[in-house]
């Protein structure tokens, strides 16, 4: 392993796995596959997307071939629409044609969409084969910890899926360099989120290193990804199947998901939507009597990272409210929010009056002054 | 519980579950759901098929409604073609429209097809909700133990699936009475199989009680289903994820699956195909030097149950051989067979020469005398 590579273990008993974070790691994929005992005789299916394939697939394929692996590469269109049962069907077919057997491995090379899709292929092909995740975005650090894999249904996002843990995750920081700036910012929003819900010290570190992070300086980025993955890993290892604690990871997601749904997927990036959602959750905290500076600080931090903190004016409040009611986080019809009680600390509130939420949404609209 | 109801536990640690076998059980479904703590507030999706819905859905719905459950019934076309991703998509949509949440239950009311399909809906809806299986065929005793759920791909059967254990299985013997005789025989073939691979005494019992079983006499049928489920439960609890031992359950399936594939699904019932396959496996035993009477006894028993023991003459030997080579049980290209070493005992042979298999297939053709 190259000097400066960080290694982190996601602790899930016998399904524990490491995350490697560093530069130049794609070229070491083959030897890592061997080290992890992935069978050379069984063909590999490499799933990637149209925006990533030309940048990184060659290097990965070469490294695997040099280690003796036979790799078939399947390319899906870039974007959320690839997370479908139709694409699952195609990839299962590609796996069968490539002769994948029960000892085979499916690799995800790409962002969160490719990770979720290829992960569900791995979870369901022959009722489950091995899975290796190679994220190429900052955002994907989130989906690379915790084993949640899924495709979308016409009526709801991420509704068809499984829990399927990877053998390991390979984070090559070099792949992040090709990300458009808007996606860098959106990805950093999710890193900051991990701090806001668990570790105030990491939030302060992000605040102090915003410039280095936005410049994708490898040392800072490597550290931040390590910390972000680590926080998520701690939470997930305490609650793998999302019975309770794991829900705190949804900080900012209640409003965020509704904004994505109403705007139509694509207008707002996920990280942008939850940035606005986190500011909303922090304002809700004030309603529950917590320090108003939590909301001010949350907003200042997101502005520093160049993230939106207001709801685009053309989105309708009633539609946003209605989209929230359909969110699958409302078990048995009650409104649930993750509410910060301090910078780096949250609680799960299952008693949030929808009138408060509506007020917050109204107050977050572009051009509206804070109440 | 009615007198005479048998209860069996499938022992899988914290995923252990009971199987109830008896008469009049559909009417008790509601109280069993309450007893097992299935949440009344969360809607239930009942999946059944076009040949079962008119016979038993009313009784089940009434019993659940009386216990306070809200049930939405989804009916799929009867037959193997319903085990598809398209049908999964429809049923997930039905679940969303019915408002199923994470605490909801999916019920399978029907044979193996409905069990496999509804089970995969339960496994993948919101990454897994509760599942209750109510088999209405003898054949389905097999798929109701072990948690294997799946749909088919154009290129291969059962290739997209999961391991998802039910909360419990409800076997109402009254539902078996409506089965066509041919399906009764095919189902009994699978019960006899459980004996042939694990319990010689149960094979002798089946032999002695063939008449009562074919007449669907409840006491005999209840006992045989109990024993069949029990044998499968013992094997599965020793090897839930099919690493090794569980493969013995595939006795007769190597040739059997190939016959189904070549004949086109529907011409041979699954139980008929594996009946022929079991005779083939027993003849293979003789090639390995085991007693020839194993094959004679296996054949006599299947004839007694009115099952086919010869390959229909219009099926091509080369096509059968080729279909076997694609079977997913041949990891890394070697031919694997489950071979009986006595009545009630088998071994896994991974060294079977394909020339022997071809001889056996030739010798099993209709109108061919045994070599």
A130 touching B, CB under 8 A? Answer: no
| Residue B111 clears pLDDT 60, i.e. is over it | yes
Active site residue A310: no
- The SS3 of residue B248 is helix
Question: For residue B351, how many other CB atoms are within 10 A of its CB?
Answer: 9
C-beta atoms of B127 and A161 within 8 A: yes
B350 touching A, CB under 8 A? Answer: no
Rounded to whole angstroms, how far apart are CA atoms A59 and A70? 14
The percent helix, strand, coil of chain B (3-state, each to 5) is 50, 20, 30
Rounded to whole angstroms, how far apart are CA atoms B195 and B283? 18
From chain B, the residues in CB contact with A155 under 8 A are 93, 96-97
Rounded to whole angstroms, how far apart are CA atoms A142 and A75? 22
A244 touching B, CB under 8 A? Answer: no
Residues B77 and B53 sit within 8 Å (Cβ to Cβ): no
Query: Would you say how long chain A is, in residues?
Result: 371
Sheet of B105-110, strands arranged across: B6-10, B17-22, B168-172, B130-135, B105-110, B44-49, B71-76
A240 annotated as ligand-binding: no
Cβ-proximal residues to B96 (8 Å cutoff; 6+ apart), any chain:
A153, A155, A156, A159
| Residue B329 clears pLDDT 60, i.e. is over it | no
Q: From A154, which residue of chain B is nearest by alpha-carbon distance?
A: B93
C-beta atoms of A155 and B96 within 8 A: yes
pLDDT at B243: 73
B116-173 confidence digits (pLDDT tens): 999 999 999 999 999 999 999 999 999 899 999 999 999 888 999 999 999 999 999 9
Interface predicted TM-score (ipTM): 0.90
CA nearest to B85, candidates A156, A161, A89 = A89
A40 touching B, CB under 8 A? Answer: no
| Residue B368 clears pLDDT 80, i.e. is over it | no
Mutation for B interface: A104, A106, A124, A127, most B CBs within 10 A: A127
pLDDT at B371: 44
pLDDT at A254: 92
Q: What is the DSSP string of B162-195?
A: EE---SEEEEEGGGGGGS-HHHHHHHHHHHHHHH
Q: Sign (positive/negative) of CA torsion A292, A293, A296, A298? A: negative
Residues A131 and A108 sit within 8 Å (Cβ to Cβ): yes
Angle subtended by helix axes B181-198 and B200-208, to nearest 10: 150
Residue B331: pLDDT band (50, 70, 90) is very low
Rounded to whole angstroms, how far apart are CA atoms B224 and B188? 9
Angle at B15 between CA B14 and CA B16, to 5 degrees: 95
Once rounded to an integer, what is the mean pLDDT over residues B338-345?
Answer: 97
Rounded to whole angstroms, how far apart are CA atoms A297 and B371? 86
C-beta atoms of A162 and B123 within 8 A: yes
- Set out the domains of chain A in order of their start, with CATH numbers: 6-177 (3.40.50.1970), 181-363 (1.20.1090.10)
Rounded to whole angstroms, how far apart are CA atoms A129 and A48? 17
C-beta atoms of B155 and A97 within 8 A: yes
pLDDT at B99: 94
Q: Which of A193, A253, A283, A302 is catalytic?
A: A253
Active site residue A127: yes
Which H, E and C letters describe A188-236, residue by residue?
Answer: HHHHHHHHHHHCHHHHHHHHHCHHHHHCCCHHHHHHHHHHHHHHHHHHH
- The phi, psi pair for A237, rounded to 5°, reads -70, -20
B159 touching A, CB under 8 A? Answer: yes
Tens digit of pLDDT at every position of chain A (371 positions):
555 899 999 998 889 999 999 999 999 999 999 999 999 999 999 999 999 999 999 999 999 999 999 999 999 999 889 999 999 999 999 999 999 999 999 999 999 999 999 999 999 999 999 999 999 999 999 989 989 999 999 988 899 999 999 999 999 999 999 999 999 999 999 999 999 999 999 999 999 999 999 999 999 999 999 999 999 999 998 887 777 888 999 999 999 989 998 998 678 999 999 999 999 999 999 999 999 999 999 999 999 999 999 999 999 999 999 888 765 555 444 688 999 999 999 999 988 988 899 999 999 998 765 54
CA nearest to B45, candidates B111, B139, B142, B124 = B124
Rounded to whole angstroms, how far apart are CA atoms A145 and A230? 9
pLDDT at A326: 65
CA nearest to A155, candidates B97, B43, B85 = B97
Question: B306 to chain A nearest CA, in Å?
Answer: 33
B84 touching A, CB under 8 A? Answer: no
Rounded to whole angstroms, how far apart are CA atoms B91 and B73? 10
Rounded to whole angstroms, how far apart are CA atoms B274 and B294? 16
| Residue B83 clears pLDDT 60, i.e. is over it | yes
Residue B356: pLDDT band (50, 70, 90) is very high
Judge residue A165's burial from the number of C-beta atoms within 10 Å of its C-beta, 0-12 exposed, 13-18 middle, 19 or more buried: buried
From chain B, the residues in CB contact with A122 under 8 A are none
Parallel, antiparallel, or unpaired: how do β-strands A71-76 and A105-110 relate? unpaired
Once rounded to an integer, what is the mean pLDDT over residues B24-49?
Answer: 97
Q: Is B102 or B242 the better-scoring residue by pLDDT?
A: B102
Q: Is A335 or B88 the better-scoring residue by pLDDT?
A: B88
Question: A183 to chain B nearest CA, in Å?
Answer: 27
Q: What's the count of helices (H) and strands (E) in chain A, helices before strands?
A: 14, 11
- The phi, psi pair for B358, rounded to 5°, reads -60, -45
Residues pairing with A169 in the sheet: A19, A133
Angle at A175 between CA A173 and CA A178, to 5 degrees: 120
B232-278 confidence digits (pLDDT tens): 999 998 887 777 888 999 999 999 999 998 998 678 999 999 999 99
Chain B segment 42-81 residues within 8 A of A by beta carbon are 42
Question: B162 to chain A nearest CA, in Å?
Answer: 4
A190 annotated as ligand-binding: yes
Q: Is B22 or B238 the better-scoring residue by pLDDT?
A: B22
pLDDT at B204: 98
How far CA A91 is from CA of A3, A76, A88, A108, in Å, comes to 36, 9, 5, 12
% of chain B surpassing 70 pLDDT: 95
A119 touching B, CB under 8 A? Answer: no
pLDDT at B334: 62
C-beta atoms of B93 and A125 within 8 A: no
Q: What is the DSSP string of A50-86?
A: TTTIIIIIHHHHHHHHHTT--EEEEEE-SSGGGSSHH
> In this complex, which of B96, B150, B154 lies closest to A153 when CB atoms are compared?
B96
DSSP code at position A357: H
A350 touching B, CB under 8 A? Answer: no
A177 touching B, CB under 8 A? Answer: no
- The SS3 of residue B330 is coil
A35 annotated as ligand-binding: no
pLDDT at A305: 97
pLDDT at B93: 97
Angle subtended by helix axes A270-287 and A354-363, to nearest 10: 120
Q: Which of A62, A217, A240, A242 is catalytic?
A: A242
Rounded to whole angstroms, how far apart are CA atoms B100 and B93? 10
Rounded to whole angstroms, how far apart are CA atoms B6 and B292? 37
Q: Which of A148, A164, A185, A302 is catalytic?
A: A148
Residue B1: pLDDT band (50, 70, 90) is low
From chain B, the residues in CB contact with A101 under 8 A are 328, 331-332
Residues A273 and A308 sit within 8 Å (Cβ to Cβ): no
B105 touching A, CB under 8 A? Answer: no
- The SS3 of residue A351 is coil
Residues pairing with A150 in the sheet: A161
Residue B21: pLDDT band (50, 70, 90) is very high
> In this complex, which of A101, A127, A160 lies closest to B331 when CB atoms are compared?
A101
From chain A, the residues in CB contact with B96 under 8 A are 153, 155-156, 159
Q: Is A68 or B333 the better-scoring residue by pLDDT?
A: A68
């Amino acid at each position: 392993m190259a000097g400066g590579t960080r290694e982190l273990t996601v602790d899930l008993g016998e399904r524990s796995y490491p995350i490697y974070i560093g530069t130049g790691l794609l070229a070491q994929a083959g030897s890592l596959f061997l080290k992890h005992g992935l069978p050379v005789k069984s063909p590999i299916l490499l799933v990637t997307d149209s925006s990533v394939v030309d940048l990184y697939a060659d290097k990965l394929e070469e490294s695997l071939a040099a280690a003796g692996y036979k790799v078939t590469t399947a390319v899906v269109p870039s974007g959320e629409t690839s997370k479908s049962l139709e694409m699952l069907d195609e990839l299962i077919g590609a796996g069968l044609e490539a002769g994948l057997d029960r000892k085979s491995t499916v690799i995800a090379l790409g962002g969160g969409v490719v990770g979720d899709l290829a992960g569900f292929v791995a979870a369901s092909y022959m009722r489950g084969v091995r899975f290796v995740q190679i994220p190429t975005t900052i955002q994907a650090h989130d989906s690379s910890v915790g084993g949640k894999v899924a495709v979308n249904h016409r009526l709801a996002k991420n509704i068809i899926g499984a829990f399927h843990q990877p053998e390991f995750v390979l984070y090559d920081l070099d792949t992040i360099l090709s990300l458009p700036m808007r996606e860098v910012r959106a990805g950093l929003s999710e890193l900051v989120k991990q701090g806001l819900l668990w570790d105030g010290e990491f939030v302060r570190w992000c605040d102090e290193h915003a410039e280095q992070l936005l410049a994708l300086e490898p040392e800072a980025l490597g550290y931040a990804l390590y910390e972000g993955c680590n926080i998520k890993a701690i939470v997930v290892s305490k609650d793998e199947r999302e019975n309770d604690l794991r829900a705190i990871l949804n900080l900012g997601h209640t409003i965020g998901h509704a904004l994505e749904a109403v705007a139509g997927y694509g207008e707002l990036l996920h990280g942008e939507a939850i940035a606005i959602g986190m500011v909303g959750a922090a304002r809700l905290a004030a309603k529950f009597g917590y320090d108003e500076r939590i909301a001010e600080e949350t907003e200042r931090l997101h502005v520093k990272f160049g993230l939106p903190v207001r709801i685009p004016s053309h989105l309708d409040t009633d539609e946003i409210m209605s989209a929230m009611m359909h969110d699958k986080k409302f078990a048995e019809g009650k409104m649930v929010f993750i509410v910060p009680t301090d910078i780096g600390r949250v609680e799960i509130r299952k008693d949030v009056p929808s009138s408060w939420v509506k007020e917050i949404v109204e107050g977050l609209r572009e051009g509206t002054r804070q109440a």
